[in-house]
Amino acid sequence: MSEPTGGETAPSPAPIVNDSTTTSGTPAQPETAAPPPAPPSKDAKTTEAAAGPTKLSAAELKKQKQAEKQARRAQAKSSGPPAPQKGPSNKEGAKSQKESKQSSKDDKSKSLPMRRRNSQPSVVTLKETKKESRKESKKDSRQPGLFFGHLYNQPRQHSIVGATKEVHPAILALGLQYSSYIVCGSTARMVAMLLAFKAVIDSYQTPVGTSLARHLTSHHLSPQIDYLRSCRPLSISMGNAIRWLKDIIIKIDPSTPEAEAKRDLISEIDDFIRDRVTAADKLIIDHAVKKIENGDVILTYASSSIVEKTLVHTHKAGIKFSVIVVDSKPLFEGKQLARKLAHHGIPVKYFLVTGATHAVKQANKVFLGAHAMMSNGRLYSRVGTAIISMLAHAQSLPVIVLCESVKFTERVALDSIVGNEVAPSEEVLSEGERQELLPLKPHLPAGLLTKLGESTDKAGVEKANSSGEVLKWIEASDNLQMLQVLYDVTPAEYINMVITEYGSLPPSSVPVVHRLSMDKQETRK
């Protein structure tokens, strides 16, 4: 969906300025190896050298250099298209000085896996370099995301361009569905991934001279996983499922014939889906239905498949209750839920999160879905969930979380900042909203207009009312940026009950059940 927009943004202001001023084709990166093509660049080099020792330790410098080297190599490989180069413009000394400093800082944060989701692919693919370089050029002017800056390091791929050849077609398709939110929701993503892995395993052939147990995970499955991760960061449940799958692959006896091993694996995957999702959902629904009584007003936030199933099931059991769906940007998943519930004949009210205080006053129970349950009993779920649970707690409404134990993780979360996912800024403003903003163009600050200058002159004629332009305004402005995180963390004290397939628990028992379900997995094998 956004690849076209990506293409549009490619000739965005910063790179264009770059193009017009670069005298040599090489990136004017302030690096020691490249011969200084022009005096200003030397300037940049010296400033970099001056800034270096004070800012970076030797190890960091080394890492930075390595990253640069890798990037160069990748660029050399792709020497064909004159992709927008990273690196500061060397037009004005002062500007380049500032920028080079900043880009070096960015480099540092890139090469150090400080707060990132673990293990980004270390091999820089062609596509990623391009993306990164584009991002760099964007970052040159400002630090994105305030304290959410680290989240912008997660790559985001919206096309199959640049995917390595090992990636299976089923995975390619799935990746696109992930990145465009067609397959959305922690459980759905996990199940879809496992089903795609079935196809991957089915078409897998062990190369001569190695065994399936040794080869499949590291050489065949990891590129698939890396690709999926590049489309959208993996969910906790997906991580759990991958860990489980790797575990059973490792445990395959090397003497097992390949066909048999593959068959076993596929049936194991089926069993996993059945045990941990299908059957678990059934049990959870059975538990949860008992908690809904005649006359209840159930409040739910966004959309969770398990909450939906529970409500529909309760309705079919003949219990009279009504539902309030609270919803919010950017995905408006609640609309779907409200529509589906209304179709079943359940009375539904639909609120946006701005009206949550009113919604909470009318409700008497809160049912929430989960992306993950952390080991400190905190709930990691769609952004906005925390507001709802806190409001409900203030009104002393019981907050009930429905969550399969496959979404439990041994990790803990203290805030919503360290681990989260950001939606690209083009997803924050909907098409309609961008259209509405277009007439404001004459009111844009003069500085911004001159910065946009070239592109607006050119593009102004042909597509004056293209909605993509609004995004360019935001991108180019120094003191405005869009931030949309997708998840937040609800502290355990705002949750009264977690219903899992093992029964109902207080949030403090999440680690116990997690340990238990892991043990069960172990003993089953």
Contact set for other proteins, span 396-435 (CB under 8 A): 398, 400
Give kind and range of the element (H or E) at residue 60.
helix 58-77
Within 363-496, where are the H helices? 385-394, 431-437, 446-462, 468-476
Is 379 a binding residue for other proteins by CB under 8 A? The answer is no
Could you tell me the strand order of the sheet in which 297-301 lies?
Answer: 348-352, 322-327, 297-301, 365-368, 399-402, 497-500, 503-505
Is 375 a binding residue for other proteins by CB under 8 A? The answer is no
Q: Of 21, 78, 425, 504, which lies in the binding site for other proteins, with binding defined by CB under 8 A?
A: 504
Query: Residue 162 or 398: which CB sits closer to other proteins?
Result: 398
Within 92-185, where are the H helices? 93-111, 126-139, 169-179
Q: State how far the Cα of 35 lies from the Cα of 39, in Å rounded to an integer.
A: 11
Query: Residue 256 or 509: which CB sits closer to other proteins?
Result: 509
Query: Residue 400 or 423: which CB sits closer to other proteins?
Result: 400
Smallest separation, CB 508 to other proteins (Å):
4
Is 134 a binding residue for other proteins by CB under 8 A? The answer is no
Which of these, 41, 38, 19, lies nearest to 30 by C-alpha position? 41
Find out whether 477 and 33 touch, Cβ atoms under 8 Å.
Answer: no
295 conformational bin, left if phi > 0, alpha if psi -120 to 50, beta if neither: left
Is 497 a binding residue for other proteins by CB under 8 A? The answer is yes
Q: State how far the Cα of 182 lies from the Cα of 168, in Å rounded to an integer.
A: 19
Is 513 a binding residue for other proteins by CB under 8 A? The answer is yes
CB burial of 335-372 (b: ≥16 within 10 Å; e: otherwise) equals ebbbeebeeeebebbbbebeebeebbeebbbbbbbbbb
Q: Which 3 state secondary structure label does DSSP give 197? A: helix
Judged by CB under 8 A, the stretch of 36-44, 80-88, 201-209, 506-514 that binds other proteins is: 506-514
Smallest separation, CB 367 to other proteins (Å):
12
DSSP-assigned beta bridge partners for residue 349:
324
Find out whether 431 and 470 touch, Cβ atoms under 8 Å.
Answer: no
Is 321 a binding residue for other proteins by CB under 8 A? The answer is no
Query: Residue 82 or 503: which CB sits closer to other proteins?
Result: 503
Is 505 a binding residue for other proteins by CB under 8 A? The answer is yes
Judged by CB under 8 A, the stretch of 46-54, 339-347, 469-477, 509-517 that binds other proteins is: 509-517
- According to DSSP, residue 129 is labeled H
Is 345 a binding residue for other proteins by CB under 8 A? The answer is no
Which of these, 177, 172, 291, lies nearest to 223 by C-alpha position? 172
Judged by CB under 8 A, the stretch of 67-75, 123-131, 409-417, 498-506 that binds other proteins is: 498-506
Is 378 a binding residue for other proteins by CB under 8 A? The answer is no
Smallest separation, CB 517 to other proteins (Å):
10
Q: Of 167, 502, 514, 521, which lies in the binding site for other proteins, with binding defined by CB under 8 A?
A: 502
Give kind and range of the element (H or E) at residue 381.
strand 379-382
Query: Residue 227 or 502: which CB sits closer to other proteins?
Result: 502
Smallest separation, CB 495 to other proteins (Å):
11
Contact set for other proteins, span 278-317 (CB under 8 A): 291
Is 496 a binding residue for other proteins by CB under 8 A? The answer is yes
C-alpha dist (Å) from residue 58 to 52, 98, 105, 243: 9, 21, 14, 36
Q: Of 61, 297, 516, 518, which lies in the binding site for other proteins, with binding defined by CB under 8 A?
A: 516
Smallest separation, CB 476 to other proteins (Å):
51
The two tokens of residue 260 are 């048999």
Is 393 a binding residue for other proteins by CB under 8 A? The answer is no
Judged by CB under 8 A, the stretch of 54-62, 239-247, 381-389, 499-507 that binds other proteins is: 499-507
Smallest separation, CB 399 to other proteins (Å):
9
Query: Residue 12 or 405: which CB sits closer to other proteins?
Result: 405
| Per-residue binding letters, 473-492, with other proteins (x by CB under 8 A) | --------------------
Q: What are the backbone dihedrals phi and psi of residue 423, each rounded to the nearest 5 degrees, phi first?
A: -85, 140
Q: State how far the Cα of 391 lies from the Cα of 354, in Å rounded to an integer.
A: 12
Find out whether 237 and 192 touch, Cβ atoms under 8 Å.
Answer: no
Q: Of 130, 315, 365, 382, which lies in the binding site for other proteins, with binding defined by CB under 8 A?
A: 365
Binding residues for other proteins (CB under 8 A): 291, 365, 398, 400, 493, 496-497, 502-506, 508-509, 512-513, 516
